[in-house]
């Protein structure tokens, strides 16, 4: 979400719009107003918001607490990035179902009070909106503006190396354990390494799991940006194994597709719509392991999917197109 807001704000400012960003933290070359907030996990609670007069107010949820404070502003555009679904565990501790259910219901009530008043709701894909237990009640207000990347920043046709890539936070809902299990089957017959890029509270658990299953895996931690792009461009394929509705799009899929690296993703609404334009989707870890083996043994198919993915990024997921669409939303509500 932070990446999306940064690129959107910069792109609008370059087109001559006056843009002010209100956030609990961050840096931006334009006008950024920091709102004093209580840092509560991923949901900062704004204590006081600056006084702002604007032609259009644009909020992003989740977390809904900033958007809630702007709910009476007119016109109000809300980008709904994903449903709120608490994972089974947080920082290694299991969450009681009664607690998760209570938080999810409270969030649902809060979000609906925002969406009821909003002029327009932006979703990143229509397939996610139609399957969302919240957004399906507001489809008449929904407009689609996808996430995007700048394709020119990503190299094409680099020589691929023998590894499957995971890139993302090391947290439970991302499904990295499913990929490790699939790679155990793959490595019985194929010389393919697993590269795990990212940090998170589950990294140690995942490292121990790979060691226990004798999976050849390299955990790199966070990579500097240029090194990350080089790593994603050299991978045989990238896997997004998240099976939870917290994953609604997957910008990392676009980054891989821009590098002509084929992608594999679990059949989740939103994510499957993106991955299908530059790779394959699957429904269980056995199917994932079969797809990895099939693609590994078919360089021509990988190259075909890579070209297809790059073309999709250039035509459908450029920031120029995303900002064109957002300007259309603004003109509609203004």
For residue range 81-95, what is the model confidence (pLDDT) as tens digits?
A: 998 887 666 655 676
> With contact defined as beta carbons under 8 Å apart, do 94 and 88 qualify?
yes
Q: What's the pLDDT at 289? A: 97
pLDDT tens for each residue of 123-133: 999 999 999 99
> With contact defined as beta carbons under 8 Å apart, do 264 and 179 qualify?
no
Percentages of the chain per state (helix, strand, coil), in multiples of 5: 45, 20, 35
Q: What is the total residue count of the chain?
A: 334
pLDDT at residue 43 tops 90: no
Euclidean distance between CA atoms 264 and 279, whole angstroms: 6
Asked if domains 2-148+318-333 and 151-316 share a fold, the reply is yes
pLDDT tens for each residue of 225-276: 999 999 999 999 999 999 888 888 889 999 999 999 999 999 999 999 999 9
Q: What's the pLDDT at 92? A: 59
Q: What's the pLDDT at 151? A: 93
Q: What's the pLDDT at 120? A: 97
Q: What's the pLDDT at 96? A: 74
Look at 88 and 211; give whichever has higher pLDDT.
211
Q: What's the pLDDT at 94? A: 72
pLDDT tens for each residue of 144-196: 999 999 999 999 878 999 999 999 999 888 899 999 999 999 999 999 999 99
pLDDT bucket at 107, cuts 50 / 70 / 90? confident
Q: What topology does CATH give the domain 151-316?
A: Rossmann fold (3.40.50)
Report domain extents, the chain. Answer: 2-148+318-333, 151-316
- Other CB atoms within 10 A of residue 247 CB: 23
Q: What's the pLDDT at 93? A: 66
Average pLDDT score over residue span 271-295: 96
- Tokens 């918001």 map to which residue? 49
Task: Please identify, in words, the CATH class of the domain defined by 2-148+318-333.
Answer: alpha beta
Euclidean distance between CA atoms 246 and 328, whole angstroms: 27
């Amino acid at each position: 979400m932070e990446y999306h807001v940064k690129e959107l704000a910069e792109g609008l400012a370059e087109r001559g719009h006056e843009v002010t960003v209100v956030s609990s933290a961050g840096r931006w070359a334009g006008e950024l107003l920091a709102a004093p907030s209580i840092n509560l996990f991923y949901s900062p609670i704004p204590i006081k918001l600056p006084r702002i007069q604007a032609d259009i107010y644009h909020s992003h949820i989740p977390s809904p607490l900033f958007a809630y404070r702007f709910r009476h502003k007119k016109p109000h555009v809300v980008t709904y990035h994903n449903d709120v679904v608490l994972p089974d565990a947080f920082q290694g501790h299991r969450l009681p179902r009664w607690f998760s259910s209570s938080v999810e219901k409270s969030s649902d009530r809060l979000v609906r009070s925002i969406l009821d008043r909003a002029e327009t709701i932006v979703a990143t894909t229509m397939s996610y909106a139609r399957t969302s237990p919240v957004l399906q009640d507001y489809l008449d207000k929904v407009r689609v503006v996808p996430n995007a990347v700048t394709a020119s920043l990503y190299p094409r046709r680099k020589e691929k190396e023998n590894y499957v890539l995971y890139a993302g936070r090391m947290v439970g809902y991302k499904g990295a354990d499913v990929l490790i299990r699939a790679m155990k089957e793959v490595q019985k017959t194929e010389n393919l390494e697993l590269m795990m890029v990212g940090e998170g509270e589950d990294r140690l658990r995942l490292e121990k799991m790979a060691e226990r299953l004798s999976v050849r895996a390299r955990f790199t931690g966070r990579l500097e940006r240029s090194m990350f792009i080089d790593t994603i461009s050299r991978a045989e394929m990238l896997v997004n194994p998240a099976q939870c509705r917290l994953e609604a799009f997957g910008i990392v899929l676009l980054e891989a597709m821009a590098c002509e690296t084929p992608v594999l993703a679990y059949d989740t609404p939103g994510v499957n719509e993106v991955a299908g334009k530059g790779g394959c989707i699957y429904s269980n870890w056995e199917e994932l392991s079969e797809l990895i083996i099939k693609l590994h043994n078919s360089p021509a198919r990988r190259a075909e999917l890579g070209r297809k993915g790059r073309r999709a990024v250039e035509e459908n997921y450029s920031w120029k197109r995303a900002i064109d669409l957002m300007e259309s939303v603004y003109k509609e509500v203004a």
